[in-house]
């Protein structure tokens, strides 16, 4: 399906779609380390893939309001709603106020035990405890399947057929509406592995309390106590919710195909693990005390990327394997008419040369923090360095994964230089001084060539591609973060200012690049990319512009939703969230910038 074949959205159509689809920001995330779900301000479960992040979507009303499947708790005469997490927890509370009373809904994917890396404590059950706290409330439980029809009885079919089923248990008749008074409760439990989990109200309350305790104990291990500590902790919990506890992989986001522009075709499946994200994630997690999660992710990355002797993949499944082919789901209309809906991600087969530097940076962090490399692992890492040496000047699809002819992206070349630099450092710390000299020489040569060919005297800044003045992209802001060039270098300062000027979306927001100047093979535009603005904060702080960096950071974190979550992008006109949600990269950016600001301010006192 292409943009040209889709009907134009008139004002009437847009209004109708907006009425049928709540804002992306009006949702909170619950999860158990194997999967996650989005719960709306109206208590609707609008997204859940079961039993894993990358399984078919059981509830996907965000992608098709009629046929996506959902779990509603409709109340009579709803007047307002409020939603919050329990402190230091991923247990969610939604309060629905009607004309006659208030209903509190406590939601969680239930846990059984302490949260520990490489160990699942999921009970494979979604618990929902309803309790009236004032007055009386009339409420139903209405679960609809992927065909849009109400599900009758206790057995819920999974998408795609087969023998596997979900089991819904309830302490009250699910076929009726119930008038609940103050203190009256209703327990609902949806389970999907083993015997059905049938919990009464007291038992479910106990299970929710144990789940809350598990999250609070885990949160106590987050070491950051500086300014913005509440936002950092919420971001840490959100990353943990995107963490596949058994393997150590971190999904980019738990959703698929939430659009980067309403009505556009830039809709991607993010329920995979990108090698690129790994080094940033590991760095951010370590800075706030999440050392075990960091180590688990490092182990996962190195295992996934050293299985074969050929070119490493750009992204992997939770199991470290190559994803299935990308397909378009013609049965779904897409969020607010934004088709196509995609499952799988075609970027997995692209050429992206930055992957060599990402893997080797992960390996360096692994060894730097106590890990060891045997001769076989070292040989494989050197093979990756050899691939970077052969291909670092050849065109690729770049960090933004363009679906167009490859180009010699500055960021890709820079990350190959990072590969050589990290190999040199690895050789030094692991007792291989002969190899260190080779890789250090290469790193220095490539860095000199890179900064020469990426610099444009005409533009007065570094450019998106080597030897091609006139275009910018926001990945240039990552060069100091990867130690390719110092943030205080006058050339980098000029580049930061150029990016801020030319790619500005207003309000402290940045576009990744301008599609008119940098074609990517797709139709339409996209929102402002939040991670790029956090990179901008880091550049300002590292170059000594602390006040500007703090003000920019505060403008960005003011955009978190009602429960502290961030999406991938923001519509610069309306301020609405766009793209998959919540986005791990955005929360990684928030953590890194908050820690950098705090440390810089502390050092200056």
pLDDT category at 433 given cuts 50, 70, 90 is: confident
> How far is the C-alpha of 263 from the C-alpha of 267, rounded, in Å?
10
Q: Which residue has the tokens 């301010």?
A: 601
Q: Which distant-in-sequence residues (6+ apart) come within 8 Å of 573 by Cβ?
A: none
pLDDT category at 13 given cuts 50, 70, 90 is: low
Q: ω before 19 within 30° of 0 (cis)? A: no
> How far is the C-alpha of 593 from the C-alpha of 532, rounded, in Å?
11
The three-point CA angle 260-253-524 to 5° equals 10
Q: In Å, how far from its chain's centre is CA 266?
A: 16
* Mean pLDDT, residues 68-82 taken together: 95
Q: Lowest mean pLDDT: which of 48-62, 155-169, 252-266, 580-594?
A: 155-169
Q: Where are the domains of the chain?
A: 26-219
pLDDT category at 32 given cuts 50, 70, 90 is: very high
Give 525-560 pLDDT, tens digit per residue.
Answer: 999 999 999 999 999 999 999 999 999 999 999 999
pLDDT category at 3 given cuts 50, 70, 90 is: very low
What was the pLDDT predicted at 153? 65
> How far is the C-alpha of 355 from the C-alpha of 279, rounded, in Å?
10
Average pLDDT, the chain: 92
* Mean pLDDT, residues 377-389 taken together: 92
Structure tokens at 256: 């698929």
What was the pLDDT predicted at 196? 86
More reliable by pLDDT, 104 or 516: 104
pLDDT category at 9 given cuts 50, 70, 90 is: low
User: Are the C-beta atoms of residues 373 and 367 closer than 8 Å to each other?
Assistant: yes
pLDDT category at 576 given cuts 50, 70, 90 is: very high
Q: CA of 235: how far to CAs of 116, 231, 252, in Å?
A: 18, 6, 14
User: Are the C-beta atoms of residues 73 and 43 closer than 8 Å to each other?
Assistant: yes
**pLDDT surpassing 70 at residue 308:** no
What was the pLDDT predicted at 272? 95
Q: Give the whole-number percent of the chain exceeding pLDDT 70.
A: 95
- The b/e string for 425-448 (b: 16+ C-beta within 10 A; e otherwise) is bbbeebebeebbebbbebbeebbe
* Mean pLDDT, residues 7-31 taken together: 81
Write down the H helix ranges in 392-460.
410-429, 433-454
pLDDT category at 11 given cuts 50, 70, 90 is: low
> How far is the C-alpha of 408 from the C-alpha of 428, rounded, in Å?
30
**pLDDT surpassing 60 at residue 1:** no
**pLDDT surpassing 80 at residue 590:** yes
What was the pLDDT predicted at 372? 84
> How far is the C-alpha of 258 from the C-alpha of 579, rounded, in Å?
5
* Mean pLDDT, residues 573-596 taken together: 97
pLDDT category at 362 given cuts 50, 70, 90 is: confident
Phi-psi region of 160 (alpha: psi -120 to 50; beta: other; left: phi over 0): left
Structure tokens at 347: 């970027």
**pLDDT surpassing 50 at residue 246:** yes
What was the pLDDT predicted at 556? 98
Other beta carbons within 10 angstroms of residue 229's beta carbon come to 14
Give 504-526 pLDDT, tens digit per residue.
Answer: 999 999 999 999 888 889 988 99
Give 458-486 pLDDT, tens digit per residue.
Answer: 999 999 999 999 999 999 999 999 999 99
Bridge partners of 342, per DSSP, are 328
User: Are the C-beta atoms of residues 385 and 392 closer than 8 Å to each other?
Assistant: no
- The b/e string for 205-228 (b: 16+ C-beta within 10 A; e otherwise) is bebbebbbebbeebbeebebeebb
What was the pLDDT predicted at 213? 98
More reliable by pLDDT, 214 or 11: 214
Give 133-150 pLDDT, tens digit per residue.
Answer: 999 999 999 999 887 777
**pLDDT surpassing 60 at residue 2:** no
What was the pLDDT predicted at 313? 87
Write down the H helix ranges in 195-262.
201-219, 229-241
């Amino acid at each position: 399906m292409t943009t040209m074949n889709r009907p134009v959205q008139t004002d009437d159509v847009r209004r109708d779609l907006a009425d049928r689809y709540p804002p992306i920001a009006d949702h909170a995330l619950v999860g158990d380390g194997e999967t996650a779900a989005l719960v709306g301000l109206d208590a609707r479960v609008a997204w859940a893939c079961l039993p894993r992040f990358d399984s078919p979507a059981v509830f996907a009303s965000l992608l098709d309001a009629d046929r996506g499947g959902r779990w509603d708790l409709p109340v009579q005469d709803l007047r307002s709603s409020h939603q919050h997490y329990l402190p230091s927890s991923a247990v969610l509370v939604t309060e629905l106020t009607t004309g006659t009373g208030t209903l509190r809904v406590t939601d969680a994917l239930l846990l059984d035990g302490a949260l520990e890396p490489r160990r699942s404590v999921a009970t494979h059950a979604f618990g929902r405890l309803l309790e009236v706290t004032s007055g009386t409330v009339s409420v139903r439980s209405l679960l609809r399947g992927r065909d849009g029809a109400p599900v009758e009885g206790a057995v819920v079919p999974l998408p795609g057929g087969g023998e596997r089923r979900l089991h819904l248990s309830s302490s009250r008749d699910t076929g009726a509406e119930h008038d609940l008074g103050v203190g009256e409760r209703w327990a609902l439990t949806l389970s999907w592995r083993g015997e059905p989990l049938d919990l009464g109200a007291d038992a479910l309350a106990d299970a929710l309390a144990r789940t809350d305790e598990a999250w609070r104990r885990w949160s106590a291990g987050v070491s950051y106590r500086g300014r913005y500590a509440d936002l950092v902790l919420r971001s840490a919990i959100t990353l943990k919710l995107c963490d596949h506890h058994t393997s150590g992989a971190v999904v980019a986001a738990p959703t698929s195909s939430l659009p980067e522009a309403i009505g556009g075709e830039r809709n991607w499946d993010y329920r995979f693990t990108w090698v690129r994200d790994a080094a940033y994630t590991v760095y951010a997690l370590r800075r706030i005390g999440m050392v075990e999660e960091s180590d688990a992710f490092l182990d996962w990355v190195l295992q996934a990327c050293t299985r074969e002797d050929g070119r490493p993949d750009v992204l992997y499944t939770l199991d470290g394997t190559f994803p299935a082919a990308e397909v378009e789901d013609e049965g779904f209309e897409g969020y607010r008419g934004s088709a196509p809906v995609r499952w799988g991600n075609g970027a997995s087969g692209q050429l992206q040369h930055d992957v060599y530097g990402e893997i080797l940076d992960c390996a360096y962090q692994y060894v730097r923090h106590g890990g060891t490399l045997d001769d076989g692992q070292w040989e494989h890492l050197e093979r990756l360095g050899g691939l970077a040496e052969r291909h670092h000047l050849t065109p690729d699809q770049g960090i933004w994964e363009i679906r167009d002819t490859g180009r010699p992206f500055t960021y890709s070349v820079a990350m190959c230089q990072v590969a050589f630099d990290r190999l040199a450092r690895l050789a030094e710390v692991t007792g291989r001084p002969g190899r260190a000299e080779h890789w250090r020489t290469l790193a220095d040569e490539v860095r000199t060539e890179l900064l020469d060919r990426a610099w444009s005297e005409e533009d007065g800044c570094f450019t998106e591609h080597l030897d091609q003045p006139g275009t910018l992209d926001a990945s240039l802001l990552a060069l100091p973060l990867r130690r390719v060039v110092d943030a205080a270098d006058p050339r980098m300062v000029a580049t930061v200012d150029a990016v801020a000027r030319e790619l500005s979306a207003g309000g402290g927001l940045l576009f990744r690049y301008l599609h008119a100047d940098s074609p990517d093979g797709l139709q339409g535009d996209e929102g402002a990319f939040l991670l790029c603005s956090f990179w901008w904060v880091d550049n300002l702080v590292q170059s000594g512009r602390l006040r500007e960096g703090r003000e920019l950071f505060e403008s960005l974190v003011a955009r978190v939703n009602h429960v502290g979550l961030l999406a991938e992008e923001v519509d610069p006109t309306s301020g609405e969230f766009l793209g998959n949600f919540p986005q791990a990269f955005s929360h990684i950016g928030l953590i890194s910038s908050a820690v950098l600001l705090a440390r810089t301010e502390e050092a200056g006192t």
